[in-house]
Amino acid sequence: MAKGTEEEGEFVVTKYNPHFDELLETHNTLLEDSREVLEKYEELKVSHSKLLKAFNSMKLEKEALEDKIKSMSALIVENRKLKDTIDKLNHDLGQFVKREENLNLILGSQRNPNDKSGLGFEAESSRTKKNKEVIVGVNDDIPEGIIIQTSPQTE
């Protein structure tokens, strides 16, 4: 073993002669410790390979789930567009029904163009209505109060 001081710049070398039995015992201890370390290393190596396999399978599963998420997000976007379309169509249909009801109300409240009541004329009563011309066949029943005009027969 070397002994010395750095300040002096000299190193004094002394020899150490351990006893052979001490060296053998130290060697056997180191060998045993080395075997224990190797056994632990093998266990860790096996554990590492198992973890690596599990990691790779989880990585594949993650990629599969990411693909599913991408396809689902595309479906979600499409679903939102379809819902917007349905809402717009429902709104348009509601407007159509409302407008149809308004048109039917307007058409139902129209008056006959010959009805001049309210314009300085009095409304016609049922007794003073004009007789209407009706063309009647030979075998038809004629209701009372109807004047029939016969067309000139050409022979």
DSSP per-residue letters across 86-126? HHHHHHHHHHHHHHHHHHHHHHHT---TT--BTTTBPPPPT
The span from the CA of 143 to the CA of 148, in Å, is 10
Pair 91, 85: CB distance under 8 Å: no
Structure tokens at 89: 């169509």
pLDDT tens track for 60-117: 999 999 999 998 999 999 999 999 999 999 999 999 999 999 989 888 888 777 777 7
Contacts with 30 (C-beta within 8 Å, 6 or more apart), sequence order: none
pLDDT of 36 strictly over 60: yes
The span from the CA of 117 to the CA of 111, in Å, is 10
Domain assignments of the chain as residue spans, ordered by start: 18-110
Structure tokens at 74: 């595309």
Pair 4, 10: CB distance under 8 Å: yes
